[in-house]
Amino acid sequence: MLKQVITILAQPENGDWPPVHVNCSSYSITRPAFAAEVLAMLAEQGVAPGRLCLELTEGALVADPEQARLSMKQLADQGMSVMLDDFGAGFSSLSYVHQYHFSGLKIDKSFILGLASSVRSRAIVRAIVRMAESLDLTVVAEGVEDLETLELLREIGAGQAQGYYFSAPVPIEQLHVSSGKLQARSL
């Protein structure tokens, strides 16, 4: 999948796309050669590392935390972003934010789906956004399905949002669509 995305990013007509986010498995991030392989694929295609963003769940870090940390550092040192996906859904998210150098957090949709009707959800999302700001982390709110939720996220100060309100997930075969449908929208 990564190779396909990198090949698509290398096409001249896609040069103005924002960074494309790709889910990364525990198998991938914990392979010792993973970072070098990804960086080599990018270099071979002439794609800057900053045009790709890897998304990891907490579960992806459990298999080999030290190797995951090393791979993440190698990628970040070359300008690639790595986001902690589904933030808040796991048991030790704060521990991972502390131990690993993520470039951002993707707030789990379970907090976003109830945002309009739940004072608690709004308080939690607001706290996550403030914490992320203080750590200089990007915030993406997952699961935005309506304008009311989007407006609440703007009020709270979440930096980006994604969800069915904008677009369904895009299969790799359809990555030729306009960049506005590719990833999170800036708020």
> For residue 185, what are the β-bridge partners?
161
pTM above 0.95, yes or no: no
Whole-number Å distance between alpha carbons of 36 and 99:
22
Whole-number Å distance between alpha carbons of 125 and 119:
10
The pLDDT profile of the chain, 187 residues, written as one tens digit per residue, is: 899 999 999 988 888 888 989 999 988 999 999 999 999 999 999 999 999 999 999 888 888 999 999 999 999 999 999 999 999 887 767 888 988 989 999 999 999 998 999 999 999 999 999 999 999 999 999 999 999 999 999 999 999 999 999 988 777 777 665 444 445 556 6
Whole-number Å distance between alpha carbons of 146 and 35:
37
Domains and CATH numbers, the chain: 2-186 (3.20.20.450)
Q: What pairing do the DSSP bridges indicate for beta strands 160-161 and 185-186?
A: antiparallel
Whole-number Å distance between alpha carbons of 6 and 116:
37
